[in-house]
Structure 1
């Protein structure tokens, strides 16, 4: 039975007592003051030092949270995870402190923010709840959904700089508020309750499709064959890209039959249940368990776990590091990337499988990065249409006269309130209605930007004689299952929704998609397109009605329909679509897209912006491999534009004075390592062997015989390296180590091929390979690190598995 107690003063004493013994500490505070951090600093530092899992979330509402307080938080311990909730002007006012120790759960919820007065002698009311595991787990689940919500971002030195800049600008414009708060910084500012819930959890279990005797179908047999090859080549992680509607989850289920213990991780509760049902349908003889905030079934053969729950150290460590033979990761939003990385760094599976429906590598970088960029199989929805596995489409681009340049862009999306004001117009709704009446078929899903827009359009359509519903997690009048049944039966015309149909559900009867939102993510747009492409008897095609205005990505969104993107030219008017598909654009849309393309951000500026986004996410300068795996632009573009990655850093003002001096002195060498031609990896393996000697000696002359042991070991220790670079007729003879023959190969191939003559940067003469320049002692570590970074990048890029 739970124990509930009212605390009306000195909450800080209770918090310090709980921090002292807790293994899990979660703090959710709308405002954090320097005094509050000082009050808890020592206790949090000791807890972090003993390995406690500490997560802290705060917001930027009215910029009350002090940058100095955030800076002090960062300084306590690197293991403490801190995230910020950007409020965009909406009230963010929670205060909750959650603690878990070996035999107890405790939480405090009430009025106290993280400030000294609120924790000591301020007038504050808080409730303490202990001995109630169910309520604690429920609170923890809600905390984690806020902590890892798509809009949150991690606090690190780079994001702190941005916050401080925004904080100073806000208080410059609102100096009267700043003065009031600086004089009474410990006073609570009671703010209104949020109008809408920011977190919209919903548990939905999709009915399993009746397959009869389950066998792989569509693209699944081909994908399974490629996964078999990937295993044989001794890759330990890979990605499958498969269009929505072709059965990614069933594919994972078939592949999982090869493994004893399986962990399936996702960020949405309904996906966990759907995946469990699919796996059970394939093989009912195994046991299947859910592991999330409310259900803990850790002893099954296959466990379907919430990433939010696994991100808590106490739950993660309930499993052994080598407990799972196979881990499957479904695609996820960017805010959860750090938690996935943490979980996957803990486990040591035999194989990691990532699954995604997003064909564009650079619009869903996080899951690619987790799989080291290796792609076992790729089949997007365009190829699936060509193979008649998905329905053809007829796309209509309808002109939207909204001026999106007047709406604030917040880095990944438009300001919700400003966007809503321009969307809630009767004349725009009437234009949408007319376009839909002219082009629709029988059953429509309408994708909206917000719940209010969905409600507004549903009401407008209903006033004009149509039967529609607005379906979202705050809708109490109709549930998703009922709405789907009504749409399937033809009893309603349209379901307006926000994101409930992005993932994990297909309604084959849907033959019309209506997009009344700016496309902010090509990933989401691709997922939504997939909702209308399922085959069904009598369905000839899917109609896509899409409002196109001058919003971001409008001029590149059509690229997802292009079967020949590599032929893109400046004068290419429309994408090349599959047979029986059509692209139809209003004349004004064509003119708009031409104008947007003309004004598009210059390439160098885009490369810089994409780099800075990644740098902020990491909190430091990304390595070259990290830029390749997690950056939004193709990594090779940095070399093409700037000669080398370090050349880009120099142009971007990212180098210190000393680094600039070293770069200018050794620019030619860095560009040589970046650009030297490589049909095989041999030059970089030679260079890596030299780098193995360390910063002081790596550039000293070296002979083929000295390189031979490392060269042979590197190319034969994994099957995929052997297959890619060491499997021709002559190389196969060298699988068994033969020093003389390996040395001859090294002399003949990388050393001779990289011989630039006595005056060049590299030379091979009299059986000795040399680097022909001096490095002064104070520069050796830097040149070594830069050379190694380029070498590692080129080897990684070379050996990535590409389907």
Structure 2
């Protein structure tokens, strides 16, 4: 029988004792103080050295966590994963210590933060629950930990993010003492409650269920054919981008027909439940099961797994890597998060299918690369509207005179307290009400920034006589389902929500969307627009009412409606590209605002440098050229136009030291050549890559085609997408099987002759390809690394662009 203990003092003794035998440790505390970290540091170091998996999540709530405490953990424990929860004003009070062992698991939850007083003599209570290995309690706790650990507002602690937090810590603790900030914040929460993370509702009915024989819809037929083509082209990975409402989950279910065992991975329980039902509707005789905190099915035909549970090392290690023939990852734009990558790196399926509704990366990481560059099909919601698969829309961009420019930006969002101070105004609520009355139809979803704003507007609308309700992630599920049904049936006019309808749920009869929050990303904006585009009886179109102020990203959001949009709003040009039946209307004040913002940002050099500084904070180091392209959230092709080379941009950004500045001056002509040389195929950069494999002391020495042949051939045939793009013609197909003579002949004819005949500093004579410059020993490491970065960037962007052209 499990013995639950009440720990009233010296919790540190239990933490040390349990650490000695742990195989995994997950700690989450609101605050971390230097005194507490020093107490547990010796045992943490010993445990980490034995290979224990250690994850620690600490909060920045009220800026009580000491930067020095984080610095000790960062420097003394390089093997652990340390993240900081950016509360943005939301209360963050957890104190939980989880230990997984070989014989028993342990959960400790109570009131003790990571400080000396809390861990020793302070008045703190904690419950210690030892659990058998097969008990669900630990897995439930671990899954909840993972949800918070990889939540969008958490960031990795590194030198850059630590420096930023230290600055914020100093500012806040000079401005206001802890007690004053605490009292004011607690008062707000008593009145309005706290914000919550994203949540979704479960579809109670699927349109397929009433059919006797399930057959794919037109969009799914196109996607299934595209996936078959991918398999015939020897791809083992593919991404399907399909607008909300086109049936991505059913697409996966139909595609699964040709596989024996399937793993479906998602980050929400509701999505997994809905996916299981869809698969059962298509395959009624197949067995299904869940792999999550409460259920551990491992032998079903179709397994639906929670990413928070499956990504834990203990659970992953229980599977053979080739257990599943097909792995489906839902909401694939999340897949570059560490929790997903751990799963994708472990399993070796015959085929990996990513499905998503948004073509935009939520975190700007390399989702494209995860599927080997193979976007099998992409159906934007505008394309679906043209095909009459989705409803048309009428967009109204309404001017909002709220000044967001003075609000504190916390990396991914505005400070919640400061944002509330400008949003919770009666005058603003009245303007929102008037615009809604003027443009609305019958059923509305309103997207808000916080629970406080949703409750505030809900009260204002109710006072005006409208039937409204405020929903959030803390609302009981039955109340959410009831509200959805009332809105669908016309017994409710509007639902105010906070990120509740972004993913995994639809209310087809919604015909009005109201945006009263700053747009933080194109991905979220696209998802939310999709909530109103389902076709339904009696619905002609969807009205989109969007309040626009001088907030971040306001000048780029219309890229959702026109992919060629570059920041200067021209309503008629945008409208001309929209499907028939759609309208695009924006206030003249909005046009003036955006023009002012684009001029202020000096879109060009300053914008590129700004994104470089932001990315450096995220990564904790200077971004490589490819990292900048994948994660900066700005068009990296602007670098060549504005600076000539990436390293000229780093110079302008003030990031190069004296030696690097001298190298840039001495070798700038070479860097410009490598950056700008024309490429109708990848061959020049593949040749350069082969030369780079010789190392920093020899890469620039002369080379013959025969010496590069094996490396050249391997690179272009190692990945199916490279082979399909650059070895797909008659000449390329002859090269599929390695023949040193044929490959060397191709290298001589193409990259060597072409490049040697067009560049000043490169020659090709007597079958020898060489650079007409030397690299002195003291400069070799820098020149080598910068050349490697340019080569890596150019190869990636070349195949990325070619793959998109092929899939379009």
| TM-score, scaled relative to structure 1 | 0.92
Partner of residue 3, structure 2? 3
Deviation at 1:244, TM superposition (A): 0.9
Shift of 1:659: 2.6
Alpha-carbon offset, residue 89 of structure 1: 4.2
Q: Within 1, Cα distance between the matches of 2:184 and 2:486?
A: 44
CA offset digits 1:363-420 (Å, max 9, x no partner)? 7545335335542211111111111111111112222222222433323222222222
Whether 1:210 aligns to 2:169 is: no
Distance of aligned partners of 1:535 and 1:571 in 2 relative to their CA distance in 1, 3 Å threshold: closer
Q: By how many angstroms is 1:754 displaced?
A: 0.8
* Distance of aligned partners of 1:703 and 1:376 in 2 relative to their CA distance in 1, 3 Å threshold: same
1:50 to 1:258, Cα distance in 2 relative to 1, 3 A = farther
Does 1:652 find its partner at 2:649? no
Where do 1:595-674 residues align within 5 Å?
595-674=596-675
Any residues of structure 2 matched to 1:108-507 within 5 Å, and which? 108-131=108-131, 133-173=135-175, 195=190, 196-197=193-194, 199=196, 204-211=201-208, 212=211, 213-331=213-331, 337-360=337-360, 365=365, 367-476=367-476, 479-507=479-507
Are the equivalent residues in 1 in contact too, given 2:86–2:410 (CA < 8 A)? no
CA–CA distance in structure 1, aligned partners of residues 330 and 582 of structure 2? 29
Separation in 1 of the partners of 2:255 and 2:613? 38
- 2-structure distance, mates of 1:572, 1:437: 23
- The answer to whether the 8 A contact 1:331-1:367 is kept is no
Q: What SS is found at the alignment partner of 1:405?
A: coil
- 1:430-466 Cα offsets, whole Å, 9 max, x none, are 2222222222222221222222222222222222222
Name the SS of the counterpart of 1:552 in structure 2: coil
> Residues of 2 paired with 1:445 and 1:579: CA distance?
24
Partners in 2 of 1:799 and 1:477 — Cα distance? Answer: 45
In 2 relative to 1, CA 380–28 (structure 1 residues): closer, same or farther, beyond 3 Å? same
Which region of structure 1 is more displaced relative to structure 2, 516-525 or 593-602?
A: 593-602
User: Displacement, 1:491?
Assistant: 1.5
CA-to-partner distance for each residue in 1:141-177, whole Å, 9 max, x for gaps?
3322322222111111221111122223334445x77
1:762 CA drift (Å): 0.9
Asked if structure 1 preserves the Cα contact closer than 8 Å seen for 2:363 and 2:631, the reply is no
* Compared CA separation, residues 57 and 646, structure 1 to 2 (3 A): same
Work out whether residues 362 and 631 of structure 1, in 8 Å CA contact, stay in contact via their aligned partners in 2. no
Who is 1:587 aligned against? Answer: 588
Task: State the SS of the aligned residue for 2:533.
Answer: coil
TM-score normalized with structure 2 length: 0.91
Contact 2:488 2:509 in 1 (8 A): yes
Q: Please list the CA deviations of residues 693-715 of structure 1 after superposition, one character each: whole Å capped at 9, or x if unmatched.
A: 22222222112222233333333
Distance in 2 between the 1:572 and 1:541 partners? 19
Alpha-carbon distance in structure 2 between the residues aligned to 1:569 and 1:113: 50
Change (3 A) 1:362 1:89: closer
> Could you tell me how far 1:532 is from its partner in structure 2?
0.9
Q: Report deviation, 1:565.
A: 1.9
Q: In 2, distance between residues paired with 1:495 and 1:742?
A: 64
CA–CA distance in structure 2, aligned partners of residues 4 and 70 of structure 1: 32
> CA separation of 1:518/1:425 partners in 2, compared to 1, >3 Å: closer, same or farther?
same
Aligned-partner Cα distance in 1 for 2:183–2:128? 22
CA distance in 2, matches of 1:148, 1:735: 42
Equivalent-residue separation in structure 1 for 2:73 and 2:433 (angstroms): 52
Cα distance between partner residues in 2 of 1:329 and 1:26: 25
Q: 1:51 to 1:158 in 2, by over 3 A?
A: same
Shift in CA distance, 386/642, structure 1 to aligned 2, threshold 3 Å: same
Could you tell me which residue of structure 2 aligns to residue 82 of structure 1? 82
Alpha-carbon separation, structure 1, partners of 2:602 and 2:564: 19
Q: Pick closer, same or farther for the CA change 1:609–1:264 going to 2, 3 Å.
A: farther
Q: Is the partner of 1:234 in helix, strand or coil?
A: coil
> Deviation digits for residues 725-770 of structure 1, max 9, x if unmatched?
223334434444444443332222111111158x932100112111
- Residues 750-789 of structure 1 mapped to structure 2, 5 A cutoff: 750-756=751-757, 760-789=760-789
374-383 or 776-785: bigger deviation: 776-785
Structure 2 Cα separation of the partners of residues 113 and 333 of structure 1: 34
Residue 792 of structure 1 corresponds to 792
Indicate the SS of the match to 1:136.
helix
Question: Structure 1 residues 220 and 191, CA, compared in 2 at 3 Å: closer, same or farther?
Answer: closer
Q: Given that residues 208 and 274 in structure 1 are in contact (C-alpha distance below 8 angstroms), is that contact kept between their aligned partners in structure 2?
A: no
Which position in structure 2 is the counterpart of 1:575?
Answer: 574
Q: Is the 8 A contact 2:252 2:328 kept in 1?
A: yes
Q: Distance in 1 between matches of 2:362 and 2:92?
A: 32
Deviation at 1:246, TM superposition (A): 0.8
2:326 and 2:352 in contact (8 A); partners too: yes
Kindly indicate whether the alpha-carbon contact (under 8 Å) linking 1:366 and 1:630 is maintained by their aligned counterparts in 2.
yes
Conserved 8 A contact 1:373-1:629? no
Contact 1:265–1:330 (8 Å) recurs in 2:
yes
Distance 1:399 1:569 in 2: 16
Aligned length: 792
SS in 1 for 2:756: coil
Question: What residue number does 1:183 align with?
Answer: none
Residues 323/681 of structure 1: CA separation in 2 closer, same or farther (3 Å cut): same
Q: Which residue of 1 aligns with 2:539?
A: 539
Mapped partners of 1:514, 1:80: distance in 2: 43
Describe how 1:687-698 pairs up with structure 2 within 5 A: 687-698=688-699
Distance in 2, matches of 1:124 and 1:737, equals: 70
Question: Residue 257 of structure 1: CA displacement?
Answer: 2.8
Partner of 1:264, secondary structure, is: strand
Q: CA deviation at 1:679?
A: 0.3
User: Which position in structure 1 is the counterpart of 2:28?
Assistant: 28
Partner residue of 2:564? 565
Q: Which moved more, 1:18-27 or 1:231-240?
A: 231-240
Could you list the runs of 5+ residues in structure 2 that have no partner in the other structure?
none
CA offsets per residue over residues 280-300 of structure 1, 9 Å max, x none? 222223222222222322322
**Cα-Cα RMSD:** 2.9
Secondary structure of the 2:56 match is strand
